[in-house]
Amino acid sequence: MIDIQQISKKYKGADNFSVSNFNLTIADQEIFGLLGPNGAGKTTIISILCSLIKPTSGSFSIAGLTYQKNKNELKQLIGIVPQEYALYPTLTAFENLKYFGSMYGLNGKSLDTKINTALEHLGLLAFSHKKIDTFSGGMKRRINLIASVLHNPNVLFLDEPTVGVDIQSKNVIIEYLNDLNQNGTTIIYTSHHLNEAENFCSRVAIIDHGKLVVEGKPQELIEQHLGAHNLEDVFINITGKALRDHA
């Protein structure tokens, strides 16, 4: 279980809080969607839960472990798929994955088998010895995903894993995530694809201006909002139509 208690975050030098008094509980084996307009605070929340940045106040635990007391156990427990590609462009797909596996203490034949199985599952086995800088965006996203799950994390965090990919890559990624979830992995992901989130997530939270506005099962939220036919209607209903440009 992931338990988030009263988390707030104000970046150094910022005038306002990016996340304010955020509370949320996510059960084991959920597929949970963090949704919200640009700048709502989704990446900030994911970065805090992955211990990449510290909250200004508040706390969280994952499976009872906290960053303060169980830093190394937490690192083994979670996988992170960042928004940006975290790959070495001049190394091959296989070399990249060997490197990421070794960072979690994996090596030898068992790591090679794991890499090849995942590459096959995600339709990339034929490209395993090609350099990453020859890959399309959709192929890089799939390699990024494999790199984050080689150590079999219990909880997988993904920041917009299907952004900028074609429908074929998107379907393969979602199918792979569903398989991981069936095998016990809890998934927390951010997305701007509301149709995808409606079908994929067991529960979603809509965040705006750093605050949790609503959370629940997609179907329940649709039923609760008068005139809403889908999650996009609920989202617009809650967050409005105004643009969220800021610099």
> Which residues would be at the binding site for ligand ATP (CB under 6 A)?
11, 14, 18, 36, 38-44, 246
Residue 206 CB, shortest distance to ligand ATP, in Å, is 11
Residue 210 CB, shortest distance to ligand ATP, in Å, is 7
Pick the closer one to ligand ATP by CB: 13 or 108: 13
Pick the closer one to ligand ATP by CB: 118 or 160: 160
Sign of the alpha-carbon dihedral angle for 233, 141, 119, 190: negative
Pick the closer one to ligand ATP by CB: 41 or 138: 41
Sheet with strand 155-159: strands edge to edge: 78-81, 155-159, 186-190, 31-35, 203-208, 211-216
Pick the closer one to ligand ATP by CB: 24 or 124: 24
DSSP letter for 162, please. Answer: T
The string over 13-22, giving b where at least 16 C-beta atoms fall within 10 Å of a residue's C-beta and e elsewhere, is eeeebbbbeb
Of 123, 83, 124, 118, the residue nearest 100 (C-alpha): 118
Both tokens of 209, joined, read 């201006």
Residue 205 CB, shortest distance to ligand ATP, in Å, is 12
User: Rounded to whole angstroms, how far apart are CA atoms 145 and 137?
Assistant: 12
User: Rounded to whole angstroms, how far apart are CA atoms 115 and 96?
Assistant: 10
Residue 51 CB, shortest distance to ligand ATP, in Å, is 16
Residue 79 CB, shortest distance to ligand ATP, in Å, is 19
Pick the closer one to ligand ATP by CB: 18 or 186: 18
Residue 188 CB, shortest distance to ligand ATP, in Å, is 13
Pick the closer one to ligand ATP by CB: 47 or 169: 47
User: Rounded to whole angstroms, how far apart are CA atoms 76 and 44?
Assistant: 21
User: Rounded to whole angstroms, how far apart are CA atoms 73 and 71?
Assistant: 6
